[in-house]
Structure 1
């Protein structure tokens, strides 16, 4: 069953729980993580907690629990849910206090849900997704996994309304990332991806794919990539915790080749990797 955690206790996932004066609700003042659970085991838990701590430090947010306590809550939530294939979402906000822009003197609040994971079919992965390019209007610190996601939401909705599956952010003609994913390209057998600067999320799956590529002797280049190169690549795909690796079949009006040898090899390597981990 799906389950939630709020204010130091497990609750029904549909129980009303959010106070009006919650800074996550009123300001988006907080950070979050999303972890995929395979066969009852959270994948890359340490890496996600590392990023959580980094994001919290960047916004001067003191975590309400120790790392081992957060780990215990996550494992207990997975156990109570009885879900083998699950998605764990948790966020930490600056707490509950009357609305004021300055930091309140209150304890941060941790909340979590454990829900059934979205499983993508082989047919969906074979088809892939279509993407559009969108001018990046987000703030300058996208490496922080912040609750402030309105530009991402609006861009994703624009893509859907225009008949695409995803929007890829572009700044001064250079590709950055998707609304909730990192992006990769393949050209002449070499794997390319934008570098992990302040302007993109340092994706956990992104790093795992780079590790897989190096292990399988696939040349890797992390560099600035313009839209012309992107549209003329041999293969392209996006990565995220929930979607893993998903091919791109079109970039606006540019249809990419159906053959995806590097993408398929990396997806197989990634599957083998997480099966070993769990």
Structure 2
């Protein structure tokens, strides 16, 4: 039976209990992170947890314990559930209180929950993705990794119904990111991606990609792309915690390049893979 983290306790799934007055349930009033596990080890865990605490600070929520203790608890959770390949999901809500929009009093403690998910031992190599452009109607603080994901869900569903893996979000024709990913185009050997701002979430995988580019001498331009720019790209790829770097073969029914991963994308995928942790010893 799987173990879950509930605040500072490790409990079995039948012991998990969330109040109906939890503000995450009422308002989506909280933040979260998803951390990939490779060989029993969390990848970029400090960066993910650091971003979680930054998001909490931006919504004026003080978590009941610090980043180091959080990392320790998540490490134990992975060990308790014997996760070799998979991810850990952790979220914090502002807590349980009577339903009023303003913040509850300081006596209300945030609620932290976390669980793990295991992936197949033999990874399935995904096909290059197809994208559908969708209007970005989200709020103006996309830099906060909050639980308010309804607009993302609607965009993902629109892409899904069009036979696509992901939505390519744009504001008045300017591409921002995906519904659950960051976006990158390649033209004449240069990678283009939206600059870090309140319009996108600065993905942890995105940060690793930027580091890889610096290390291998890959030119990058952090400049907004228009939809017209996107349609003429030589290569295109997306990034996320769960997929790493995923090449894109088609956007709005138009083939990208040859429809297969291009040389820049493949070189970057190799550089990214080289950064993945060595598997932890099995117990």
TM-score, length of structure 2 as denominator length: 0.93
What residue is the counterpart of 1:149 in the other structure? 149
What residue is the counterpart of 1:104 in the other structure? 104
Structure 1 unaligned residues grouped into runs of 5+: none
Paired residues in the alignment total 275
Distance (whole Å) between structure 1 residues aligned to residue 124 and residue 117 of structure 2: 19
TM-score, length of structure 1 as denominator length: 0.94
Q: Any idea what SS the aligned residue of 1:158 has?
A: helix
Distance (whole Å) between structure 2 residues aligned to residue 273 and residue 210 of structure 1: 13
Query: Contact (CA 8 Å) 1:43, 1:274: kept in 2 or not?
Result: yes
Shift in alpha-carbon separation, 1:259–1:144, aligned structure 2, 3 A: closer
What residue is the counterpart of 1:190 in the other structure? 190
Residues 227-242 of structure 1 correspond to what in structure 2 (within 5 A)?
A: 227-242=227-242
Distance (whole Å) between structure 2 residues aligned to residue 64 and residue 277 of structure 1: 31
Superposition CA RMSD, Å: 1.6
User: Among 265, 270, 273, which residue is 1:271 paired with?
Assistant: 273
Query: Contact (CA 8 Å) 2:31, 2:52: kept in 1 or not?
Result: yes
Displacement after TM superposition at 1:137 (Å) = 0.5
Shift in alpha-carbon separation, 1:116–1:259, aligned structure 2, 3 A: closer
User: Among 121, 126, 131, which residue is 2:124 paired with?
Assistant: 121
Q: Deviations over 1:68-127 (max 9, x none)?
A: 2111111110110111112110001100111111111201111000111377523x2xx3
Query: Contact (CA 8 Å) 1:88, 1:113: kept in 2 or not?
Result: yes
Structure 2 unaligned residues grouped into runs of 5+: none
Residues 1-278 of structure 1 correspond to what in structure 2 (within 5 A)?
A: 2-13=2-13, 15-105=15-105, 106-117=108-119, 121-122=124-125, 124=126, 127-256=127-256, 257=258, 258-275=260-277
Shift in alpha-carbon separation, 1:248–1:231, aligned structure 2, 3 A: same
Shift in alpha-carbon separation, 1:185–1:46, aligned structure 2, 3 A: same
Shift in alpha-carbon separation, 1:101–1:72, aligned structure 2, 3 A: same
